[in-house]
Amino acid sequence: MDALGILVAGIALGLSIAAPPGPVNTIIAVQSVSRSAAKGFLVGLGAMTADAIFLIITYHLGGVVMINDMIKGVFSVVSCVLMAYLAFLTFKSSQNVDNMMGKGDKRVHLPYLTGLSIGLTNPFQITWWLSVGLYLISSIGLVIIAGFFTGIVLWITLFPTVIHWANNRIPYLYRVVVYVSSALLVAFSVWFLYSAIILLKL
């Protein structure tokens, strides 16, 4: 795969990770509807900052730990399972999309710090970087990580804007996002499974 293909794959991966319903996207939606798209963006920016911190830690960890094909294969298996589980949770969440906004006033006064704190304490985010992230850096390089962050930036910019503009159509729009995200996560799960088979010579 050439550099452009790797970059595009990274963007798709970033979108598939950023888009599924969860605490960050719920707060982004609340801020975008009740306040402004800019406030929603700040929540997403905080969560992305947490990813950048995990990237730095993972990159240095990869430089310290000797990662052979066997270890890469194990990481691939873990990544495959994680992606499949995220796809399952994402698809399952489509049943509750109508209620994702919850009830009452859930606006936050420090949207950036809220997104950052959620990102730094999110077990899925931590697990992703110690499995998928470490595998991608050691096997493919930083080009796909650049694409990954590009995908996240696209999401945290476009999602709050669309949600704010289409206030009364959030459930319909978000349900489409859920199905597309589920499909992307399944595709990456299959890709990691294929990588594991090759690396472990199964």
Reported as a single tens digit per residue, the pLDDT across 141-179 is: 888 889 999 999 999 999 999 888 876 566 666 677 777
| Predicted model pTM | 0.72
User: Which two three-digit tokens encode residue 85?
Assistant: 């589980």
Residue 69, φ and ψ in degrees, nearest 5: -60, -35
Contacts with 66 (C-beta within 8 Å, 6 or more apart), sequence order = none
Identify which has the larger pLDDT, 197 or 35.
197
Cα separation of 73 and 76, whole Å? Answer: 5
pLDDT of amino acid 95? 63
* Contact indicator for 163, 34 with CB cutoff of 8 Å: no
Across the range 49-66, mean pLDDT stands at 80
Contacts with 170 (C-beta within 8 Å, 6 or more apart), sequence order = 29, 33, 101, 163
How many angstroms separate the Cα of 50 from the Cα of each of 22, 56, 78? 15, 10, 21
User: Which two three-digit tokens encode residue 2?
Assistant: 């050439």
User: Which two three-digit tokens encode residue 187?
Assistant: 């595709």
For residue 107, pLDDT over 70 is answered with: no
DSSP code, position 105: -
* Contact indicator for 140, 24 with CB cutoff of 8 Å: no
pLDDT of amino acid 197? 92
For residue 201, pLDDT over 60 is answered with: yes
